[in-house]
């Protein structure tokens, strides 16, 4: 995609200093910087927002692939802001939950559209309760984990 938008990532948990260094190198290579850095040595700051102003609209998936490949014990969330006719894209990952991707707003809040809800209601597995199908598709478990680790 040639269109670009604001990108944000928050790393919440890392499995050791080598993994943190690997992630810091990836972020630096991609030109993603800490929004309100407290450290000046280039080390990774957990729970801080890292940003880049002009990134490809699929950065949320490509960067997630890089981080998961380099540091699979990491828990993080990242997103591209909506731009023009394109919705925002969100990815969250935790080794315990796996990977979640969905549409999001500019604050990184995943959402479901009316067609997606209709699809869940009409085509979902009828043996699975509707509330469970919606919460799974909306990424509620990932949101709850990110909130817990942020506080």
Which two tokens mark 138?
């909306």
Q: Domains in the chain, start-ordered, CATH in brackets?
A: 4-111+142-150 (3.30.70)
> Sign of dihedral through CA atoms 128, 131, 134, 135?
negative
Whether the pTM exceeds 0.75: the reply is: yes
DSSP 72: T
Tens of pLDDT, residue by residue, the chain (151 residues):
468 888 999 999 998 889 999 999 999 999 999 988 776 677 899 999 999 988 888 889 999 999 999 999 999 999 999 988 888 999 999 999 999 999 999 999 999 999 999 999 999 899 999 999 999 999 999 999 999 999 8
Cα 85 → chain centroid = 20
d(CA 41, CA 37): 10
């Amino acid at each position: 995609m040639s269109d670009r938008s604001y990108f944000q990532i928050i790393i919440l948990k890392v499995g050791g200093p080598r993994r943190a260094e690997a992630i810091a190198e990836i972020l630096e290579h991609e030109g993603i910087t800490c929004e309100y850095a407290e450290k000046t040595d280039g080390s990774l700051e957990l729970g801080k927002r890292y940003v880049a102003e002009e990134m490809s609209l699929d950065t949320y998936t490509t960067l997630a692939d890089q981080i998961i490949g380099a540091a699979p014990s990491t828990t993080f969330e990242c997103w591209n802001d909506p731009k023009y006719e394109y919705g925002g894209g969100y990815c969250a990952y935790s080794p315990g939950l796996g990977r979640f991707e969905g549409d999001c707003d500019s604050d990184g809040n995943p959402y479901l559209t009316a067609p997606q809800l209709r699809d869940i209601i009409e085509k979902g597995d009828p043996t699975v309760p509707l509330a469970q199908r919606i919460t799974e598709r909306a990424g509620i478990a990932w949101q709850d984990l990110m909130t817990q680790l942020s506080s």
